[in-house]
Amino acid sequence: MLAGDGVTVHVTVPPKESCAIGSYTVTIAGKGMTPQVVKLKRDGTITNVFFEDVTGDGKRDLVVFVSSSGSGAYGRLDIWEWKRERFHGGIVADLMPDQQTGYRGHDTYTAAGGVLRRRFPVYRDGDANCCPSGGVAAFRWNPASNVWVRE
């Protein structure tokens, strides 16, 4: 459960569902508001949930990070933004083609101080999946233009 600004958020996975593929439920409630319940599909495991203003509008957003099953552990974000007295799902753009050089998943996301960040190891030609040798790529998300900016 996450809480802040008078709102509580529960993100749950059905107890008998596979960890690899299935669904998750987001329940958002607050004083004086009708609870909002949304069930979403997922391809992977929920690895982190943030309740932080990452869109820059002064209101907390719900950010759910799903890591795909398999050796790549490719990351995906679901962002819920507060608009018109409800949370609405939003889409975070993927990396631009030139930012994907050496990308093979293993994403790590953080949200702190109003900034959403993404990091992943960079692979060079010939690198095994276990052993990236190209360092780490780091980006921050610009919500105004919905693009990832290299740090």
The pLDDT tens digits for 27-69 are 888 777 788 888 888 888 888 888 888 988 888 888 888 888 8
DSSP string, 85-122: TEEEEE-PPPPPGGG-TT--S--EEEEETTEEEEEEEP
Q: Among residues of the chain, what percentage have pLDDT more than 70?
A: 95
Number of structural domains found in the chain: 1
Residue 40 in domain: no
Query: Tell me: the pLDDT tens digits for 133-145?
Result: 999 999 999 999 9
Among candidate residues 94, 114, 115, the one with its CA nearest the CA of residue 105: 94
| Residue 103 belongs to domain spanning | 45-150
- Write the Ramachandran bin of 54: left for phi over 0, alpha for psi from -120 to 50, otherwise beta: alpha
Mean pLDDT of 82-111: 86
- Residue 2 confidence (pLDDT) above 60: no
Neighbouring C-beta atoms of residue 44, cutoff 10 Å: 19
Residue 22 in domain: no
Residue 1 in domain: no
